[in-house]
Structure formats: C-alpha cells, structure tokens
Chain A
Amino acid sequence: AQSVTQPDIHITVSEGASLELRCNYSYGATPYLFWYVQSPGQGLQLLLKYFSGDTLVQGIKGFEAEFKRSQSSFNLRKPSVHWSDAAEYFCAVGGSTLGRLYFGRGTQLTVWP
C-alpha cells in the first residue's frame, strides 16, 4: 500500500539552528517525492521535488532533501532556520503517471527567536 509517514507531528527549534524533518514512504513503483509547505492562511507551496538523478535536491528558501532508496526516506533539511520558516511541512509521494499524491500528516514547525 502507498503511504507516507512523517513521525514528528511538532518540532520546535531556535532561530539559527539546523533542521531536519523526517519522511518515510511506501510506494510500489518508482517514487516521485515532494515537500510542500503551508504557512498560516496560505496554500501549499512546493519546496522541492525529486524525480530521478542526483539524490540530493535543492529547493527554495534554502531547503534541501536527500532521497535514500535503501531507507525509503526523503528527509528535508535546512542548515539555519529563520523565524519565517515557521509553518506546516508536508511530504508527499506520487508516480510518473501524474496520478494521485499520497501525503503524510504534516510536521508543524515552531521557531523560537
């Protein structure tokens, strides 16, 4: 069955600290992986995506993610968090046929000044 697990419901970090949000997936074919962010009152914004090739992908706002096939993981990282990064982050997996996406439950990020 296709699924995405984000084990951390809520993470709190201090501004300037590094961040890693975990994502594990289960998918029966070659996965297309995504991270989206939703700020309060906003829609889902694409941070980055992985289709193939280099397993370390760079996204917007200084985020990066690493695809590890052996661990079925696609963790999101940022070396130094800014207060404006406080938001909810969603990991998603889909396939090459542009069908449905499967989302995790989301991780709420709080940033302390």
Chain B
Amino acid sequence: EAGVTQFPSHSVIEKGQTVTLRCDPISGHDNLYWYRRVMGKEIKFLLHFVKESKQDESGMPNNRFLAERTGGTYSTLKVQPAELEDSGVYFCASSREFGQAFYGYTFGSGTRLTVV
C-alpha cells in the first residue's frame, strides 16, 4: 500500500504570510494525526481526526492554526499568519480503525517549514 504523503516537503515563507500543508493518509485509514517538531525539542501532538471529525485538538498551539479534513480523506493544516516560532517539521500520521487489529501509526516524511 502507498504510504502517508505530505507536501510540500519544504516551505520557506515570510512572517505574516499564510502556508497550507497537506497530508494524504493511507487509503482506508480513518485516523489522521498532525504532529510538530520544533528544532531540538520533542515531537508534539497537534490534533487527531477520526474521519472528518476532530477527535482531539488539544495540542493546537493557537487560533492561527486551522486543520481540516473534508470528506475524511486528505487533511490540510493552515497557518495564518505565520510567526517565527512556527518553524519546524510538521508530521502527519495515519492509522486504521481501532478493532481491526492495531497496526500502529504510519508517518509521512514531514514538511519542513521555515518562517523568516
């Protein structure tokens, strides 16, 4: 099966601009997660979708971040307006529905966001 796909792989934007990151999960995976790693820190959870619903968005840092998953397929994460501290690597992961044998999470390659 195809893996989790994220694009762009890199993005450099100026402070105050808007950036939209996209994640395509593995087909059939109802669970989709966003994580972020700021340089030198741990990978931190942002939010969790089950199909198109936000199951847990407790990790979203502030209201400049907006995540959507229309139709329960791909997801986008928009940062508007971007600040310097938003720089980091944004990872997306997906997993199957619980109860169908838990295979764990599959991560994408990440989007490296640099805000200058």
Binding site for B on A (CB under 8 A): 4, 32, 34, 36, 42-46, 49, 51, 90, 92, 94, 96-106
Distance in angstroms from B97 CB to nearest chain A CB is 8
Contact A100 B56 (CB under 8 A): yes
- Mark B96-116 against chain A: 1 for CB-CB distance below 8 A, else 0: 001000101111111000000
Given contacts A43-B110, A46-B104, A103-B42, 16 further A-B contacts (CB under 8 A): A34-B104, A36-B107, A42-B109, A43-B6, A43-B108, A44-B91, A46-B106, A49-B104, A92-B43, A97-B98, A98-B31, A99-B56, A100-B59, A101-B33, A101-B105, A104-B42
In the complex, which of the residues B4, B45, B102, B107 contacts A98, with contact meaning CB atoms closer than 8 Å?
Answer: B102
By beta carbon, the residue of chain B nearest A98 is: B98
Complex Cα distance, B31 from A94, in Å, reads 14
Distance in angstroms from B57 CB to nearest chain A CB is 10
Q: Which residues of B contact A99 (CB under 8 A)?
A: 48, 55-56
